[in-house]
Amino acid sequence: MEQETEHIKCLIIGSGPAGYTAAIYASRADLKPVMYTGMVPGGQLTQTTDVENYPGYPMGITGPEMMENFRKQAERLGTDIRYGYVSEVNFSSLPHKVIIDGIKTVLADTVIISTGASAKWLGLASEQKYSGFGVSACAVCDGFFFKGQDVAIVGAGDTAAEEATYLAKLCRKVYMIVRRDEFRASKAMVQRVLNTPNIELLYNTETKEIVGDGQSVTGVTVINNESGDEQTLNITGFFVAIGHKPNTDIFRGIIHMDDTGYIKTAPGSTTTNIEGVFCCGDAQDHIYRQAVTAAGSGCMAAIDAERYLAAKEHIVTA
């Protein structure tokens, strides 16, 4: 059976805040964008309950509801949103060749990558059970909901140290669970943690189980690797800060990335090392990782794509 082939101006891969914002701007620029949502339409925000730090929602909004609003706006402006995933790419010539679901070929004049990143988890069943109900992978997003309460955070790198000190400003007490007998964080970040009186460090400690009442988190059982002693900490919030993995494996060896897989873009833009391919959102941002910064970079990607196409048309017609 012959593969179906389609030629489009602008292909958007991924459907979080970055992808939907890129779609809104690309639609208004008459790029007639086609979006493939990926396996998790709406991205990480669909696994978040309340969002209170995105401008324009004075009473807050749930993550899934916000992503539904983004989707409706992109669709209303003309984006062709399709459920499917990219199984293969060939960026060696123009237009770019992208295979969808292993069967359909799309030829795209421009490609906007907004595949996002996924939080790394400990792999506990209780962690997924209480995700969004006391378990979070983003202290900046969710710390506010635990104001004046006792919480725990697991991790030993710069992000964990930064998030622990952030939580310490809001929460009564922060238990910091460190698997080894030392941090992986920089000296400056470690010093900041050590100088914060309401952070209690638990070295050589692993998380055994997150405890809850069926609706929300009530504690966490930890085990000391040296003594084997177990204890249950009474907490209402459990934060996982062991890193994120960008969803960029399919582009490995094709697009320039850093050691952890974040796509490299030119400073102040969304352009990659491949002509006509742009990247926005958490697939290229390992620093901020917020919905609002992702949306901002999605806007940039659409404008970059529009200007790229306009320049090409000018060269062709000149």
Please list the active-site residues: 138, 141-142
- Shortest CA distance to 212 belongs to which of 196, 229, 179, 235? 235
CB 280 within 8 A of CB 43: no
CB 161 within 8 A of CB 190: yes
Tokens of 64: 């899934």
CB 163 within 8 A of CB 154: no
Q: How far apart are CA 248 and CA 262, in angstroms?
A: 7
Phi, psi dihedrals of residue 193, rounded to the nearest 5°: -65, -45
The residue with tokens 């890129």 is 22
Decide: residue 280, CB within 10 A, 0-12 exposed, 13-18 middle, 19+ buried: buried
Q: How far apart are CA 109 and CA 94, in angstroms?
A: 7
